[in-house]
Structure 1
Amino acid sequence: MNAAAPAAPRLTLPEQSGTALPSVSWNQEFCHGAWVLSSYADVSTALRDPRFSVQRSRRWINSSIDPARTDRTQRIAEQHQLRAFKRILSRSLLFLDGHSHTRLRRVMQAGFSAAALQRQAPAISAIAERLIQQILARASVNASGATVVEFDFIRDFARPLPILVIAELLGITLDGHSGFVAAASAIAAFIGSPTPTMPLALAAQEALTQLLTHFHHEIALRRTQPRDDLVGQLMEAESTGAISAMEMLAQCCTLLFAGYETTRHLLGNGVLALLQHPLQWQALQASPERLPRALRELLRYHSPVQYTGRRLTADLEWHGQQLRRGQLVILQIAAANRDPQRFSNPDQLDISRDEGNHLAFGHGPHVCIGATLTYMEAELAMRALLRALPDLQLQPQGWRWDSNDAYRGLTTLPLTCVIAPPAVQVSTASSEPRHG
């Protein structure tokens, strides 16, 4: 779909709303029925409330089994088919509450401290520069005598950069990107389906199993050749009994997937939004120090994660509605970030906006552990783009939005840029990325 103002994916707040949001509503499309919270106040409150539990992976995966099936034996057999999927996800930090969540988060936090991430900054900058040099190396002279490069920003930059960065952080080598991208797509397809099907669940299980096998081999090598990186830190925690072997593997798989999806969508969505608002792109060129605030606005404007889910651990009344223990609640992050009761002119992109926190990374005890890494990664990448490709322009047609409901992102974003001679000269000295 090519359009200057694409409609938001279904089940999310339309991008041009300007209206107040319903406090709570029932939606049958989510896993055969769920309550939906959409206002900023409700979503932020629920994200902090322990009665809204993240421990929902097993029932969520089981929801892919056709509820109309009357053959109990077949239902049990299908649940058994998905046991590997449930075993991995149920041990991920994303789906743990209470003491288990606190324990795992404490172990992982060392790898995401400010000091640890600052040590990664040179490597992130180098990866961004290498990718840009590969783009510049394809520049050619057009009929008017100008040196121009045309490229797909998603394929050539937004997709490979987070893969390489998270691989660097974990200390692993990915032999090519295609296998990982296919695995990530299968997992994202399951997560992004309001009511997943058995084929989607089995494909996601196979993808996670592939990642698990990769880390099994990696960790086996590390037993005799230890390294000081995030995988090494998780292995140390496992050796002391702080986490189990399956918890260690589950975190590795989750980090590899989650670190990729959010960052690539932030980069793609952010560049599209800025080029659709060229005065704001030019303002960043003139004052790159405005990038931290601009990134917060870009995350609010196009939330990479559109919604998240919770299971109720107790009955409660919410705006006059009786919500029951065990029911699913969908928290509409994208809608909350466009709530006119919270943000002035919410459908307007304003990189100078200073109206408090967005909810793109969640809120409360389960706020995204990699949020600081994503911010740093995006800022370093955007600085490199502003410096090397200041005259970026959208090609008239061609960008496409993914149909995924949970993730707001582009599958393709064709761009063009007139290149100054010094940049072209630098581009001829490009080198291949270290990983893949």
Structure 2
Amino acid sequence: MMRDTPPLAQPAHEPVWSEQYCGGAWVLSGYDDVAAALRDPRFSVRRAARWINGAASDAGDARQQRDFKRVFSRSLLFLDGRAHRRLRHVIQPGFKPAELQRQAPAIAAIARRLLDRIGPQVASHTQFDFVEAFARPLPALVIANLLGLPDRVPAEFIDWAAALAAFIGAPTPDQAQAAAARQALADMCDFFTLAMAADDLGDGLLARIAVAHREQKISGTEALAQCSTLLFAGYETTRNLLGNGLLALLRHPAQWAALKAAPQNLRLAVREMLRYDSPVQYTGRRLVADIELGGQRLRRGQLAILHIGMANHDARRFSDPGRFDIARDQGNHLSFGHGPHVCLGAALTQLEAEIAFGTLLQALPEISLAPSPPQWQPLAAYRALERLPVTPGKSTQQPTQPPTHRELTHA
């Protein structure tokens, strides 16, 4: 079980070798070291093939394993240099500020609709699971809308994303995690193959990717890889931010009260949520050259773990880093990465969270933690809540019928 509080130990001043990650890796945890490594091309993201090969495997479907590696390794997450820039150029226009602001009313409508659907619990002041009712469905529906698929998100998507998160989030994926991830990605690719074949794709990101494929700017495999990455990454990071952020606010009632009194400070508050309890705790890099760092020699071919969560708690960068302070304004956290691989959807995630918490402030101002404790997913790379029981308190909304899991996914 993952820890129930964010890391408070001070980051190391130099790289530390650990056998915990994929048979051995250098762990960088200081803010300056992690930020520098995220910018440094000698720390390569092209680690997918060795990672997949290193996962425990059975004698199952060799073709599925081959297809998984082929698609997975063409994701933006695992490409450097020219290939990364080419694919990013195709997708980036969908994340421009003007485009995201155009999405804001739809995000707000989704947030309100999800809260409307927990009306009976609100009316009776009974607890509900915030993760299941709100944090899970909201980002899935938002990214689907951005892709141009507001009415075609399969109910299985959350399960697909969970399988990929379990594989990516494990220091050394086991056989079951690898098999589940292979099947999830295969199902995702089947879904997007059919979606891109539709006659009317609208003007969303999926249409942009399909046009780039038809114009031979990207391959079919690259198209499927980016669609799957957008859905998975757009879902997982935001889902965790919403759960972690609300938990931090409710565990610090003075901070929740301060935000209610001054909701215009939501931008800073979300930035502090990201710093305090980063949704992505670490990312991996493969060294493509020998490097001297902090008196250690990191050798070509070795794995480096850039520990974002620890870097965000570096006292050399943030004063009293274990304190949750929504008024903190001490520069950038590293939760979205840094450098050429900075998260493409960072602005979207920030916007979603601001709208989501703004909606919560209005609709459920008296929300509080329920007696049942929160439950965490056992994923090392992600700080992810499985359940967050809350009590709604007084509401400003009229109750409606409670949702099912499938209804939430199709909201």
Structure 1 residues 138 and 417, CA gap change in structure 2 (3 angstroms): closer
Other structure's SS at 1:225 match? coil
Q: CA deviation at 1:366?
A: 0.2
Q: Residue 119 in 1 paired to residue 91 in 2?
A: no
User: Separation in 1 of the partners of 2:185 and 2:351?
Assistant: 27
Structure 1 residues 78 and 29: CA distance shift in structure 2, 3 A: farther
1:38 aligns with 2:29: yes
Q: What is the CA distance between 1:140 and its match in structure 2?
A: 3.9
CA distance in 2, matches of 1:199, 1:81: 14
| CA deviation map 1:163-182 (0-9, x unaligned) | 11111111125667641121
Paired AA for residue 236 in structure 2: E
Counterpart CA distance in 2 for 1:434 and 1:204 is: 20
- Which residue of structure 2 aligns with residue 268 of structure 1? 243
Q: Show the counterpart of 1:172.
A: 149
Q: Aligned residue for 2:4? A: 6
What CA RMSD, in Å, does the superposition of the two structures yield over aligned residues?
Answer: 2.2
Q: Render the CA deviation track for 1:63-118: whole Å, top value 9, x for unaligned.
A: 1147xxxxxxx99x997662111111111111110011111111111110011111
> 3-state SS of the aligned residue for 1:415?
strand
1:174-220 Cα distance to aligned partner (Å, 9 max, x none): 66764112111111111111111233212101100000000011111
SS in 1 for 2:156: helix
Residues 226 and 402 (structure 1), Cα distance of their counterparts in 2 relative to 1, 3 Å cut: closer
1:393-408 alignment, distance < 5 Å: 393-408=368-383
The answer (yes or no) to whether the contact 2:118–2:402 under 8 Å persists in 1 is no
Partner residue in 2 for 1:133 = 116
1:209 equivalent in structure 2: 186
Q: How many Å separate the matches in 1 of 2:129 and 2:220?
A: 40
Specify the alignment match of 2:352 in structure 1: 377
CA shift at 1:269, angstroms? 0.3
In the alignment, which residue of structure 1 is the partner of 2:304? Answer: 329
1:93 aligns with 2:69: no
The residue type equivalent to 1:33 in the other structure is G
Counterpart of 1:217, as a letter, is: L
Using the TM superposition, give the Cα deviation of residue 241 of structure 1 relative to its aligned residue in structure 2, in angstroms.
1.8
Superposition pairs for residues 43-82 of structure 1, below 5 Å? 43-65=34-56, 82=65
Is the 1:26–1:33 contact (alpha carbons within 8 Å) kept by the matching residues of 2?
yes
Correspondence 1:364 to 2:355: no
What are structure 1's unaligned runs of at least 5 residues? 9-14, 67-73, 142-147
Change (3 A) 1:316 1:139: closer
- Which residue of the partner structure matches residue 386 of structure 1? 361
The equivalences for 1:103-114 within 5 A come to: 103-114=86-97
Amino acid aligned to 1:332: H
Q: What does residue range 185-204 of structure 1 map to in structure 2 within 5 Å? A: 185-204=162-181
Q: Cα distance 1:175–1:103, how it changes in 2: closer, same or farther (>3 A)?
A: closer
Name the stretch that deviates more: 193-202 or 228-237: 193-202
1:218 aligns with 2:195: yes
Counterpart contact for 2:30–2:314, Cα < 8 Å: yes
Mapped contact 2:141–2:153 kept (Cα < 8 A): no
Q: 1:338 to 1:206 in 2, by over 3 A?
A: same
After TM superposition, the structure 1 = structure 2 runs for residues 9-28 of structure 1, keeping only pairs within 5 Å, are 15-17=7-9, 19-28=10-19
* Equivalent position to 2:291, from 313, 316, 322: 316
Alpha-carbon deviation of 1:149? 4.0
Moved more, 254-263 or 197-206: 197-206
After TM superposition, the score normalised by the length of structure 2 is 0.94
Q: TM-score under structure 1 normalisation?
A: 0.89
User: Secondary structure at the residue paired with 2:286?
Assistant: strand
* Distance in 2, Cα, partners of 1:227 & 1:153: 32
Cross-structure match for 2:131? 154
Counterpart of 1:6 in structure 2: which amino acid?
D
Structure 2, unpaired ranges of 5+:
none
Tell me which residue corresponds to 2:160: 183
- Verify: 1:258 aligned to 2:233, yes or no: yes
* Cα shift at 1:377: 0.5
The alignment covers a number of residue pairs equal to 408
User: Cα distance, 1:44 vs. partner?
Assistant: 0.2
Cα distance change on mapping 1:240 and 1:306 into 2, 3 Å: same
Deviation of the 1:430 alpha carbon: 9.2
Question: For the residues of structure 1 that align with 2:119 and 2:273, how far apart are their CA atoms?
Answer: 26
2:140–2:409 Cα contact (<8 Å) kept = no
Q: Cα offset for 1:22?
A: 3.9
Shift of 1:137: 3.7
| Residue identity in the other structure for 2:287 | L
Deviation (angstroms), 1:340: 1.0
Residues 11, 313 of structure 2: 8 Å contact kept: no
SS in 1 for 2:304: strand
8 Å CA contact retained: 1:65, 1:78 = no
Does the residue aligned with 2:349 lie in a helix, a strand or coil? Answer: helix
8 Å Cα contact 1:160-1:177 kept in structure 2: no
Secondary structure at the counterpart of residue 117 of structure 2: helix
Shift in alpha-carbon separation, 1:79–1:196, aligned structure 2, 3 A = farther
- Share of identical aligned residues, percent? 53
Q: Is the 8 A contact 1:130 1:433 kept in 2?
A: no
**Residues 154, 409 of structure 2: 8 Å contact kept:** no
